[in-house]
Amino acid sequence: MKKVFYLLIAMATIMTACKKKQTDQHNPFFEEWGGEFGLPPFAKITDADYRPAIIEGIKQHEAEIKAIIDNQEEPTFANTIEAYDHSGQLLDKVMNVIFNLNSSDSNDSLKAIVEFALPMLSEHKDNTFMNPDFFKRVETVYKNQEKENLTTEQKMVLDKIYKQFTRNGIALPADKQERLRQVNKDLGLLQQKFGNNLLAETNAFSLVIDNKEDLAGLPESAIEAAADEAKATGKEGKWVFTLKNPSYVPFMQYADKRELREKMFRAYSMRGNNGNEYDNKQIILDIMKLRIEKANILGYNTPADFFLENSLAKTPDNVNKLLNSIMPAAIKKAKDEAKELQKIIDSEKGGFKLQPWDWSYYAEKLRKDKYALNEDEINQYFQMENVRQGVFELASRLYEINFEPLKDASIYHEDVEAFKVTNQADGSLVGIFYTDYYPRQSKRGGAWMNNFREQEVINGKDIRPIVVNVGNFTKPTSSKPSLLTTDEVETLFHEFGHGLHGLLSKCNYRMINGTNTPRDFVEMPSQITENWAFQPEVLKTYAKHYKTGEIIPDSLVQKINNTAMFNQGFMTAELVAAAILDMNWHTIKSVEGIDVLAFEQQAVKNMGLIDEIIPRYRSTYFNHIFNSGYSAGYYAYLWAEMLDKDAFELFKEHGIYDEATAKSFKENILERGSSDDLMVLYKKFRGQEPSITPMLRDRGLIK
């Protein structure tokens, strides 16, 4: 009987191995991605393919690192640093796909796979950067770098890898390294949980309206979109509004019914704060406790000190100096704006004090009254396809590249479109660009850029990037195409700027290519691109009425630009408030005795924010800092805005299409990643240190 039993076990083992081998053979991640551009074969990838690919990717990367360590030759940049930068191709391949899809087209299975992968990835990273034998080789190259006659780019790569070891605890005793490993694993899971909770909370709420009178004030486009949402969710004949921006924002701007605006606002601002299974308050405390512990283990006073070390700002004091130089002027302007809005309420005999859920509504009334600007009239000229073509033509003119639709490209969702990007001079490939612009249940909120493949040079071959722009813009309805608001137009230009930063990269190494720069620099190429969005000569190229094809009239162009500084007190105050809240969280030294809501309320009180405004993100849904890499970094939008407004001054001086200025910006900024000191690169383009004055002037905070 024993012989039969063992024979059965052996046969089962062989069958399992054969089945695994057969599965692996058909796993798309283990195959060369063919076709002309090597795009991910989304249609062939199943959820079952990820786990074995992640495991194998880590295994291969470990073997590549072992080969570097076991190399008997004297450590050099080529056999140690370059070898490491070009390693881990399979792991990058699979993680670039799953991390992108988990944000843009997720499901329970993908979330579970990511949660499965995060501890393994954390352990793999720690095994790499706590490996004394590997560090010994890196340290040798670091100490001998002057002998190798390295390029500036190579020195930047070497410095970055060396710092990854020192910032990952290579010098720590074994017990502290072991504790740091556990902290890193736990943080990865907690941050993922925070994001999952936020998505669940956003999707959980909807305002269902069955009385047509409750739609008073709303534009026809918003009503039609709500009817389509109702139909899609089995509530045909009603109207459904959600907390996704294309639904939430117009409701808050236009809905006459104040109690419904309040209901929407409270649902939006209470996400992650409802005492249910998706509550994020304890998760915030757990994250911050671990971040404080990690910073202390590594010898830093606070998490902010750790996070900011490699930024342009360098220290919390420098960040606070910037924020405190802006906030008083922003609050002063916001108070004046609040008085104007209160006057409208009083003139209508409203009998109530302005509240946060009233601001957008009465600001829209004031804008119409002051500037005769009707967003519902303007968006008729902002059909998504035309706006996108507008940024393509802008890039073509500035940077001499062309965009061509790829009709049969592999895509992961029907909303996604793909474009081949080529150089005008010789037709050579720049990269592939995906757009994915519409909200859905499986997509997290916001807008972002990412890579499915990063640019690098391997064995003399320039691997061109595959870049994606993701948004949550107004969807087409049953009778109209996607018609964007001015905010959405600006966001499309913004994310396209990130896209250009990734597409135009001309670096040799992944570690410093494209958007692999500090947070307070990476937002500069995106934010400067916004400056072209509403320039009259640019608007004429893309702002065409979706029915008639009529180019936007000069009168509307003038109205748009007349409102450039409108409501800037509010917008600046809510942005700076969020950045200050972020810094408050990341400069604490203990979570002992902290109540999340009380902590936030005290921070808001200390910064002097008026009651009618809340921070752009409250703590429990501040995904940027608790799940998306902007920890102690939300200020980066303002720091980078200082750079972008200063940089655009040069374009204004020479002409917004000036060939020489655009060429310099492309060659010194967009192509260079962080292949040199970033302020050196900036000054090569600008010719001087950046000034904060253009930013303050553009926001109407100074004259």
Rounded Cα gap, residues 444 and 415, in angstroms: 15
Residue 440 located in a structural domain: yes
The SS3 of residue 403 is strand
On whether both 352 and 400 belong to a single domain, the answer is no
Q: Does the annotation count 82 as an active-site position?
A: no
Rounded Cα gap, residues 425 and 663, in angstroms: 14
- Give which of 662, 77, 217, 237 is closest to 226, Cα–Cα: 237
Among residues 220, 236, 269, which one ends one of the domains?
269
On whether both 448 and 540 belong to a single domain, the answer is yes
Q: What pLDDT is recorded for position 25?
A: 57
pLDDT tens for each residue of 103-157: 999 999 999 999 999 999 999 999 999 999 999 999 999 999 999 999 999 999 9
Rounded Cα gap, residues 153 and 151, in angstroms: 5
For residue 567, which amino acid is it? N
- Which phi and psi angles does 312 have, rounded to 5°? -70, -35
Rounded Cα gap, residues 388 and 229, in angstroms: 25
- CATH number assigned to the domain comprising residue 456: 1.10.1370.40
On whether both 154 and 242 belong to a single domain, the answer is no
Range of the domain at 353: 281-373+569-627
On whether both 31 and 83 belong to a single domain, the answer is yes
Q: What pLDDT is recorded for position 373?
A: 85
Token pair belonging to 398: 């500035």
On whether both 464 and 604 belong to a single domain, the answer is no
Residue 276 located in a structural domain: no
On whether both 649 and 613 belong to a single domain, the answer is no
The SS3 of residue 22 is helix
β-strands 456-458, 401-405: how paired?
unpaired
Residue 181 located in a structural domain: no
Q: What pLDDT is recorded for position 26?
A: 86
On whether both 23 and 166 belong to a single domain, the answer is yes
Q: Tally the domains of the chain.
A: 4
On whether both 16 and 163 belong to a single domain, the answer is yes
Residue 22 located in a structural domain: yes
Q: What pLDDT is recorded for position 201?
A: 97
- CATH number assigned to the domain comprising residue 329: 1.10.1370.10
Residue 200 located in a structural domain: no
On whether both 341 and 464 belong to a single domain, the answer is no
Strand order in the sheet with 417-423: 401-405, 417-423, 429-436, 466-470, 448-453
User: Which member of 153, 375, 495, 523 is catalytic?
Assistant: 495
On whether both 408 and 507 belong to a single domain, the answer is yes
On whether both 477 and 553 belong to a single domain, the answer is yes
Residue 658 located in a structural domain: yes
Rounded Cα gap, residues 509 and 495, in angstroms: 23
Among residues 146, 171, 196, which one ends one of the domains?
171
On whether both 43 and 125 belong to a single domain, the answer is yes
Residue 197 located in a structural domain: no
Give the chain's residues under pLDDT 50.
1-24
Among residues 269, 303, 318, which one ends one of the domains?
269
Residue 235 located in a structural domain: yes
Q: What pLDDT is recorded for position 679?
A: 97
